[in-house]
Amino acid sequence: MSRIDPLQTFVAVVRTRNFTSAADALGVTPSAVSKQISTLEERLGVRLLNRTTRSVSPTEAGQMFYQHCENILDSISEAEKLVTDFDDTPKGRLRITAMSNFGRRELARIFNDFSNKYPDISFDLHISDRPVDIVKEGFDFALRIGSLEDSRLIAKPVAEQRIVICASPEYLEKWGTPTSLEDLANHRILVVANAEYARINWLRQFEKDHGFSLASIERKLTVNDIDLVYEACITGMGITALPTYIAERHLNSGELVRLFSEMDIPVRTIKVVFPQNRYLANKSRAFLDFITAYFSHS
């Protein structure tokens, strides 16, 4: 056996906390796992695992050794990818997680264009607005908006998310078109509860600058789903803030009317996020380059 085999076995045991489960994961027998661990402990001259009838846990020395083993095995895996990927056609499967409204509206078109260029790459796409630990859950990329607080990740800006204030012609015909912030006191506002850009916060800076009060504005609908707010806006329920990738088509068709076009609403950056220490395989680099170029030409 090569020296790396006992390290792989040890890592599998610590991860599963069970010799039998580790053996199943490695495709060997529990006795083979036990023998490799004993050989490893004998060679190192230290006990690495606490064994009970029900489970296995690392000793203090074992936990320290485990962390180094993980780094070693990750480095070997990355080295193997580097060699097998060298000068090779991008292929394989990419696991990507993205925000729900952005994913629904943008990614089908992006994936279709990408697949035409790289037919040997397929996707597992996870749509979710909850925070996702892409390292722990094994994603290659995440598409996110907002700040990045995880030092394990790299965030590459690829596009700007611009916001427009809008309402339907039917709503404006019934309630009138506001021409000043003060006019909004007589209007209905639709609010997305879990999206910073679409909350009533888009007016906060103007409240401060112009002495405008938000206290009297009626929040006609507050909901945690931007698609519902978008539909409610089109049907004439009220005024809301929407990203241009949602609103633009309806503004062009006349289904929505842009309000307060002179307002300078801060843009937010759409980022492609990926693990910092992970080697970018050909398939990953191809996707990163493609989506960067895609938005730069949009």
In tens, the pLDDT along 236-272 reads 999 998 888 888 889 999 999 999 888 767 677 889 9
The pLDDT value recorded for residue 216 is 62
Residue 108 has pLDDT above 90, yes or no: no
Predicted confidence (pLDDT) per residue in 110-142, tens digit: 999 999 999 999 999 988 777 788 887 888 999
Predicted confidence (pLDDT) per residue in 29-58, tens digit: 889 999 999 999 999 999 999 988 778 899
Predicted confidence (pLDDT) per residue in 222-245, tens digit: 777 788 888 999 999 999 988 888
The pLDDT value recorded for residue 51 is 87
Residue 225 burial class via C-beta count within 10 angstroms: exposed 0-12, middle 13-18, buried 19 and up:
middle
Q: Write down the pTM of the prediction.
A: 0.58
**Residue indicated by tokens 């003060």:** 182
When pLDDT is cut at 50, 70 and 90, the band that residue 1 belongs to is very low
When pLDDT is cut at 50, 70 and 90, the band that residue 209 belongs to is low
Q: How many angstroms separate the CA atoms of 125 and 112, rounded?
A: 13
The pLDDT value recorded for residue 46 is 93
Predicted confidence (pLDDT) per residue in 148-179, tens digit: 667 788 888 888 878 889 999 999 999 999 98
Lowest mean pLDDT among 94-103, 115-124, 157-166, 211-220: 211-220
Question: 15 to each of 22, 30, 70, 129, how far by Cα in Å?
Answer: 8, 15, 10, 28
The pLDDT value recorded for residue 243 is 86
When pLDDT is cut at 50, 70 and 90, the band that residue 101 belongs to is confident
Residue 144 has pLDDT above 90, yes or no: no
CB 94 within 8 A of CB 287: yes
Report angle CA 127, 128, 132 to the nearest 5 degrees: 115
Q: How many angstroms separate the CA atoms of 177 and 156, rounded?
A: 40
- String of DSSP letters for 86-121: TT----EEEEEEE-HHHIIIIIHHHHHHHHHH-TTE
Residue 168 burial class via C-beta count within 10 angstroms: exposed 0-12, middle 13-18, buried 19 and up:
buried
Rounded to an integer, the average pLDDT of 274-280 is 76
Give the domains, in start order, of the chain with CATH numbers: 4-85 (1.10.10.10), 92-159+269-297 (3.40.190.10), 163-266 (3.40.190.10)
CB 147 within 8 A of CB 255: no
Q: How many angstroms separate the CA atoms of 168 and 236, rounded?
A: 5
When pLDDT is cut at 50, 70 and 90, the band that residue 213 belongs to is low
The pLDDT value recorded for residue 207 is 64
55 contact partners, CB below 8 Å, separation of at least 6: 17, 18
Rounded to an integer, the average pLDDT of 4-23 is 88
Rounded to an integer, the average pLDDT of 7-26 is 90
The tokens describing 230, both together, are 């978008």
Q: How many angstroms separate the CA atoms of 147 and 141, rounded?
A: 16
Residue 91 has pLDDT above 80, yes or no: yes
